[in-house]
Amino acid sequence: MEKNSKIYIAGHRGLVGSAIMRRLQAEGYSNLLTRTNAQLDLLDQQAVNDFFEKEKPEYVFLAAAKVGGIGANSTYPADFIYQNTMIGFNVILSAYRNEIKKIINLGSSCIYLKMATQPMKEECLLSTNYLEPSNKAYAVAKISVLKLCTFYNQQYGTNFLSLMPTNLYGPGDNYDPEGSHVLLALIRKFHEAKISGNDRVTLWGDGSSHREFLYSDDLAEAIVMLMQNNNARNLSNPAVDFVNIGCGKDLTIKELAEVNRTIVYEDTTDRKCHIEWDTSKPNGTPQKLLDISRITALGFSPKTNLTEGIKLAYKDFVNNYS
How many CB atoms are located within 10 Å of the residue 170 CB? Answer: 25
Residue 220 lies in a domain: yes
Residue 313 lies in a domain: no
Residue 149 lies in a domain: yes
- In the prediction, which pLDDT does 180 show? 67
* Interior/surface letters 23-33, b for 16+ CB within 10 angstroms, e for the rest: bbeeeebeebb
| Residue 103 · residue 273 · CB < 8 Å | no
Residue 30 belongs to what domain range?
7-173+213-249+288-304
CA distance 113 to 127: 8
| Residue 104 · residue 161 · CB < 8 Å | yes
Residue 276 lies in a domain: no
Residue 185 lies in a domain: no
Residue 107 lies in a domain: yes
Active site residue 130: no
Among candidate residues 8, 59, 96, 138, the one labeled active-site is 138
Burial category of 219 from C-beta neighbours within 10 Å (exposed 0-12, middle 13-18, buried 19 and up)? buried
- In the prediction, which pLDDT does 270 show? 67
Burial category of 207 from C-beta neighbours within 10 Å (exposed 0-12, middle 13-18, buried 19 and up)? middle
| Residue 10 · residue 36 · CB < 8 Å | no
- In the prediction, which pLDDT does 321 show? 72
pLDDT string in tens for the chain (322-residue length): 899 999 999 999 999 999 999 999 999 999 999 999 999 999 999 999 999 999 999 999 999 998 877 778 788 889 999 999 999 999 999 999 999 999 999 998 888 877 788 898 888 787 666 777 777 888 889 889 999 999 999 999 999 999 999 999 998 887 666 666 789 889 999 999 999 989 999 998 999 999 999 999 999 999 999 999 876 666 556 556 789 999 999 999 999 999 999 999 987 776 789 999 999 998 888 899 999 999 999 889 999 999 999 999 999 999 887 5
CA distance 184 to 170: 9
CA distance 136 to 35: 29
CATH classification at residue 84: 3.40.50.720
Which of 135, 142, 10, 120 is CA-nearest to residue 77?
135
CA distance 45 to 172: 27
CA distance 108 to 52: 25
Residue 235 lies in a domain: yes
Q: What is the pTM of this model?
A: 0.89
Q: How many domains does the chain have?
A: 1
Burial category of 280 from C-beta neighbours within 10 Å (exposed 0-12, middle 13-18, buried 19 and up)? exposed
- In the prediction, which pLDDT does 239 show? 56
- In the prediction, which pLDDT does 229 show? 84
Residue 260 lies in a domain: no
- In the prediction, which pLDDT does 249 show? 95
